[in-house]
Amino acid sequence: MSEKYDVLVVGGGVIGMSCAYYLQKAGSRVLIVDRGRFSEAASTGNAGMIVPSHIVPLSAPGVISKGIKWLMNPESPLYIKPSANPKFMRWLWLFQKHCTADHVAYSVPILRDLSLMSLSLYENICAESGFEDVGLAHDGLLMLHRSDYARQDNLELADLAEAAGLDIERLNRDETLALEPALKTDITGSVYFRQDASIHPERFLRALEKVLLDGGAKIVDGAVKGFGTSSPQSVEVNTTVGKFTANHVVLASGAWTPEMASKLGQSISVQPAKGYSITVPVSKPSLRIPCILADEKVTITPMPGCIRFGGTLALQGFDASIDERRASPIRRQAEAYTQGAEKVSTWAGFRPASPDGLPFIGALENHPNVFVATGHGMMGVTLGPVTGKLIAELVSGQKPSQNMAPFDADRH
Ligand SMILES: Cc1cc2nc3c(=O)[nH]c(=O)nc-3n(C[C@H](O)[C@H](O)[C@H](O)COP(=O)(O)OP(=O)(O)OC[C@H]3O[C@@H](n4cnc5c(N)ncnc54)[C@H](O)[C@@H]3O)c2cc1C
């Protein structure tokens, strides 16, 4: 006899754990199965930014031509490795189809509403669960520029953000330095996104884990191998540590979700988009405000006990190797801000990237009690809580708080 749960969540990254949190809050008995959360998940070494500023999806005009231009530059922040893999080719075809101004205009209000709702859910979770040391900070985000090219990009984003109702400020060099005197980067100005926030992602995951375990959820260290008999009432899940049955299943296994969905005969177009980070432990970060260097595409996030530098987006399958040349712009910033600090190694993680820059949140067409929650790409931390809330609403048959059509699991 296999153990029976209301909901089984596959994946214990920020998306799976946020789903589990809201499902448990709604009264479900939850089981989370993960094959090694604190090692391979994207949810651990990321930049921890909660960014309503990121209203433009990755699939925007000009991205493909930048990718081609940067192919031969070993330090470029975007790398698309040519591949004949049919799933990758299809993803790339869908991606370039969405690189249009119309798609950006369509996505801006969707991403704005999702991320603003998620930000307020972060506040609720931290307040109601007493998370005091997860580093939730409301210091905004400085998008810094040095070149005319980056300045132009930043100002276009500022116009879009302002038109979408976000609270922004265009700053010259002196105004930027007055706001953040610890900046060491040579800049000409910035755009300040006041509503953005940040969190220590690993601490947040551990805090969620404690609340879940205290509330009766079970977390199992094992890999899902496949699915057994399923009906609209229950699904059998085969794992390396035994067989479980649940009324509902949530596939929140990040970049590996297509592998899970394919075992149920469903195709989900998600590609792993590798990124790097370097975390330097410091007793007190010199910077107060999280920053993105628009020229280098490097992020800098002060967190409790450390400062984290991140960047790079490489579409090259599940190749976990670290190319130190590509990581060197990140390392240069780490060295500038933490001189004399102990040398630290580079971390790599796979963002689950959808071809249109919007997540997949919803039931599978042929399995109404199996849900997917993935494809958050560069926005998984930002959109964790709102995804969890929406999944809990769908599972319990409530009217979702957002229009779910853009996130349809079967849309491609
Ligand atoms: C360098 C970098 C910086 C980033 N910075 C930010 C940021 O500042 N803000 C932001 O919003 N987002 C950021 N992101 C994106 C964000 O980290 C991801 O979107 C998010 O972590 C994805 O979460 P997830 O739970 O979907 O996937 P993951 O965190 O990858 O979790 C998936 C889990 O599924 C498990 N799993 C997979 N297959 C199986 C199986 N067969 N059986 C059991 N378990 C399985 C894995 O072990 C893993 O733990 C960044 C990403 C990177 C790489």
φ/ψ bin of 103: left (φ > 0), alpha (ψ from -120 to 50), beta (otherwise): alpha
Residue whose Cα lies nearest atom 37 of ligand 1: it is 253
* Mutational pocket test of ligand 1: of 143, 260, 378, 391, the residue with most ligand atoms within 8 Å of the beta carbon: 378
Q: Which residue has the tokens 């005969």?
A: 265
Residue 2 contacts by C-beta under 8 Å, 6 or more apart in sequence? 236, 242, 243, 244, 245
pLDDT value, residue 64: 79
Q: Which of 28-32, 68-72, 88-92, 162-166 has the lowest average pLDDT? A: 68-72
The predicted structure's pLDDT at residue 94: 96
Separation of 14 CA from ligand 1 center, angstroms? 7
CA-276 nearest atom, ligand 1: 1
- Residues with Cβ within 8 Å of residue 157, at least 6 apart in sequence: 53, 56, 143, 191
Q: How far is the CA of 19 from the centre of ligand 1 (A)?
A: 14
Residue 256 has φ and ψ, to the nearest 5°, of -95, 5
**What is the mean predicted confidence (pLDDT) over 323-337?**
93
Q: Ramachandran region of residue 397, left (φ > 0), alpha (ψ -120 to 50) or beta?
A: left
Which atom of ligand 1 lies at the shortest distance from residue 239's CA? 42
- Residue 406: alpha-carbon gap to chain centroid: 17
- Residue 1: pLDDT band with limits 50, 70, 90: low
Q: What 3-state class would DSSP assign to 97?
A: helix
Task: Please list the residues that pair with 219 across neighbouring strands.
Answer: 32
Q: How confident is the model at residue 333 (pLDDT cuts 50, 70, 90)?
A: very high
Half-sphere exposure (Cβ direction) of 153: Cα atoms closer than 13 Å: 20
Per-residue confidence band for 329, with pLDDT thresholds at 50, 70 and 90: very high
**From ligand 1's centre to the CA of 255, what distance in Å?**
7
Percentage of residues in the chain having pLDDT higher than 90: 86
**Residues 279-289: b if buried by 16+ CB within 10 A, e if exposed:** bbeeeebebeb
Query: Residues lining ligand 1, CB < 6 A?
Result: 10-16, 33-37, 40-43, 46-49, 51, 223-224, 252-256, 275-277, 310, 349, 351-352, 374, 376-382
Mean pLDDT, the chain, whole residue set: 94
Calculate how far, in angstroms, residue 44's C-alpha sits from the geometric centre of ligand 1. Answer: 7
From ligand 1's centre to the CA of 203, what distance in Å?
15
Pocket test for ligand 1, best of 33, 35, 209 (most atoms within 8 A of CB): 35
CA of 405 to the centre of ligand 1 (A): 23
pLDDT at 38: 61
The answer to which of 24-33, 39-48, 151-160, 172-181 has the lowest mean pLDDT is 39-48
SS3 83: coil
Nearest atom, ligand 1, residue 11 CA: 34
pLDDT at residue 62, as a whole number: 85
CA separation (Å) from 331 to 48, 76, 234, 279, 283? 18, 14, 49, 10, 19
d(CA 310, CA 42): 12
Question: What average pLDDT does the segment 22-33 reach?
Answer: 98
Nearest CA, atom 18, ligand 1? 380
pLDDT tens-digit map of 241-250: 999 999 999 9
Distances (CA, A) of 154 to 53, 165, 345, 357, 392: 11, 16, 31, 19, 36
Give the residue whose CA is nearest to atom 41 of ligand 1: 224
C-alpha of residue 181 to centroid of ligand 1, in Å = 33
pLDDT at position 63: 84
First to last CA, the chain: 38
Q: Give the pLDDT confidence of 345-361 residue by residue, as tens digits.
A: 899 999 999 999 999 99
Distance 68 CA to ligand 1 centre (A): 26
Q: Is the dihedral of CA 39, 45, 48, 54 positive or negative?
A: negative
pLDDT for residue 37 is more than 80? no
Q: Map residue 90 onto helix, strand or coil.
A: helix
Ligand 1 pocket mutation, candidates 33, 34, 139, criterion most atoms within 8 A of CB? 34
User: Quick check: 141 pLDDT over 80?
Assistant: yes
> Is the pTM above the cut of 0.75?
yes
Pocket perturbation via mutation, ligand 1, pick of 9, 37, 43, 293 by most ligand atoms within 8 A of CB:
43
Beta strands 78-80 and 49-50 are: unpaired
Banded pLDDT at 119 (limits 50, 70, 90): very high
**pLDDT at residue number 238:** 97
Write the pLDDT tens digit of every residue in 363-387: 999 999 999 999 999 999 999 999 9
Using CA atoms, how far apart are residues 343 and 62, in angstroms rounded to an integer? 36
pLDDT of residue 149: 93
What is the C-alpha separation between 129 and 106, in angstroms, rounded?
A: 35
| Ligand 1 centroid, distance to 149 Cα (angstroms) | 31
Ligand 1 atom at minimal distance to the Cα of residue 381: 11
How many Å lie between the centroid of ligand 1 and the Cα of residue 296? 23
pLDDT digits (tens, 9 = 90+) for 66-100: 777 776 777 888 888 888 999 999 999 999 999 99
Please tell me the predicted confidence (pLDDT) of residue 400. 97
Using a 10 angstrom Cβ sphere, with 0-12 exposed, 13-18 middle and 19 or more buried, the burial of residue 25 is middle
Per-residue confidence at 185, pLDDT binned at 50, 70, 90? confident
Residue pair 240/225 in contact (Cβ under 8 Å)? The answer is yes
